Amino acid sequence: DSESVNMIEELIQEYLDKPSTIILAIIQACNDIETSAAIKYAKMFDPDGERTIGVLTKLDLVDRGVEQKLLDVFDNKRIPLKHGYLMVKCRTQEDIDNNIELSEALRKEEQFFSKSQKFHSVPAERRGCPSLARFLTRELVRSIKQALPRLITDLRTKINNVEQQFRQLGIEDYTQLLFTNEARSRHLTNKLFTAMQSFRTEIHGVEEGAQVNNPLYSKRNELNQQFYDEMHNCKLDNSKLIQAIKSAMIATQGPEPADYILFRVTKTVCLNYIKVIRTPMEQYLSHMLERTNNVISNVINKVFQARPNLLNQIRLMHENIEKQLKDECYRELELILEMEASFVYADHPLYKDTLKRIKKIHKQTSNDASTVITTVQSARLPYTTTTNAATNSMTTSVKRKSGAISEDNDDDLEDDYKSPIKISRPNNPSSTNRLSSLW
């Protein structure tokens, strides 16, 4: 079938393409020589005719008047070849059917050339199957002698490469390993164990930071500082924070008192901030994973470079583990961000302590301002006994209240919303009326 024919042609072309191949072009003299398949392949793979030997056969079947054309081909006048042409007369189908012996067939062949009027002039060394066998033997020997130095050079180069590979593996005398399976297995086991120990040592050195300028730790510290700077840049200053709160209040304002910060306002501001910090967090994780992967890959190449098969297996394992851990890291980061976005909750010790401290500062500032105002107003009162009594009462009340505030630990947040200053008014009605008129 056509598939088998194509397969055979591909096999023939593969052999003919090799420079060391001698092409034996068998040409039927009774057909058109220039269009024969043998000449076509010879011109395709040996256009200069350096490796081709032409063989003209079936000379007894040529038509009258064609003999001279065959002699022109034989004399290299039409299709020149470096090795020239030979003529042979093979057994006919009748001889094959009658089981003619080889010796008788060769005798008939020689008789044909000697009695032929056109082909008897062909030299004896160029006609007949025995002459063809001797010619091919000489050409084969010549080709081997010509290619032998190159083969020896290539073989020595390969031997040197193999010896160098053995020396890299710590094997000086590799001949013993070539003949003993037990010794070869034991040696390979020891080398594998040594390689794994070296790999473990290198990895532990990276983990513990044993090296100066550790390739992982130095880059990690750099990434940490970069991550800190990027997160710090994401932080809102007071003006931006106030503006964000105002915008959120306007967007979420409902039927509640004005200037009252609702929880949904706080949540909106926090969610926007979480969106901002997502990018630096993802970049930090990506850079750290990439650096870790590069360091481990360098260690693998360093330890297993002399063992290509083992190196490929270790690389494949590393890729699978790296992909699995990378997915887990991104899932963990996504979970953290999702938790932060889902539970915006302010009842935290840090939040409460900060809120207490700010309230206490505002209360102290308000108390100091009230004390100053009270003193100034008292100084404007007439210097009467009643006025002095009222002033003393007010001053004493303010001082007593200020002392109470300074000693208060502000444990109860509900007290923070009471008036920061209470002024005790005297029982004297006249003093009260005079104070009221002055205030």
CA distance 433 to 417: 30
How far, in Å, CA of 168 to CA of 202, rounded?
19
Amino acid identity, position 141: V
Residues 6+ apart with CB under 8 A from 401: 367, 421, 422
- CA–CA separation, 148 and 139 (whole Å): 14
Q: How many Å is the Cα radius of gyration of the chain?
A: 53
> Which residues, in sequence order, are CB contacts of 316 under 8 Å at separation 6+?
none
Tokens at 304, concatenated? 């297993």
- Domain residue spans in the chain? 2-144, 176-208, 217-342, 349-438
Residues 354 and 108: their CA atoms lie apart, in Å, by: 122
How far apart CA 203 and CA 194 sit, in angstroms, is 14
| 3-state secondary structure string across the chain | CHHHHHHHHHHHHHHHCCCCCCEEEEEECCCCCCCCHHHHHHHHHCCCCCCEEEEEECHHHCCCCCHHHHHHHHCCCCCCCCCCEEECCCCCHHHHHCCCCHHHHHHHHHHHHHHCCCCCCCCHHHECHHHHHHHHHHHHHHHHHHHHHHHHHHHHHHHHHHHHHHHHCCCCCCHHHHHCHHHHHHHHHHHHHHHHHHHHHHHHHHHHCCCCCCCCHHHHHHHHHHHHHHHHHHCCCHHHHHHHHHHHHHHHCCCCCCCCCCHHHHHHHHHHHHHHHHHHHHHHHHHHHHHHHHHHHHHHHHHHCCCHHHHHHHHHHHHHHHHHHHHHHHHHHHHHHHHHHHCCCCCCHHHHHHHHHHHHHHHHHHHHHHHHHHHHHHHCCCCCHHHHHHHHHHHHHHHHHHHHHHHCCCCCHHHHHCCCCCCCCCCCHHHHHHHHHHC
Report the C-alpha gap between 42 and 28 in whole angstroms. Answer: 15
Per-residue pLDDT, 303: 77
Return the residue matching tokens 């073989």: 155
- Identify whether the C-beta of residue 103 lies closer than 8 Å to the C-beta of residue 62: no
The CATH classification of domain 2-144, taken from the options 3.40.50.1000, 3.30.1050.10, 3.40.50.300, 3.30.70.890: 3.40.50.300
Question: pLDDT tens digits, the chain, 439 residues: what are they?
Answer: 688 888 888 888 888 888 888 888 888 888 888 888 888 888 888 888 888 899 988 888 887 777 888 888 888 888 888 888 999 888 888 878 888 888 888 888 888 888 887 788 888 888 888 999 999 999 889 888 888 898 899 999 998 888 887 777 666 666 666 656 676 667 667 777 777 777 777 766 655 554 545 666 667 778 888 888 888 887 766 677 777 777 777 776 666 665 556 677 777 778 888 888 888 899 888 888 888 888 888 888 877 777 777 788 888 888 888 888 888 999 998 998 888 888 776 666 777 787 788 888 878 877 766 665 555 455 444 444 443 444 444 344 434 434 443 434 444 444 443 333 333 334 444 443 433 333 3
Q: What is the pLDDT of residue 153?
A: 92
Q: How many CB atoms are located within 10 Å of the residue 7 CB?
A: 11
Q: What is the pLDDT of residue 157?
A: 93
What are the Cα distances from residue 10, in Å, to 14, 24, 48, 344? 6, 17, 22, 73
At residue 54, φ and ψ (nearest 5 deg) are -90, 135
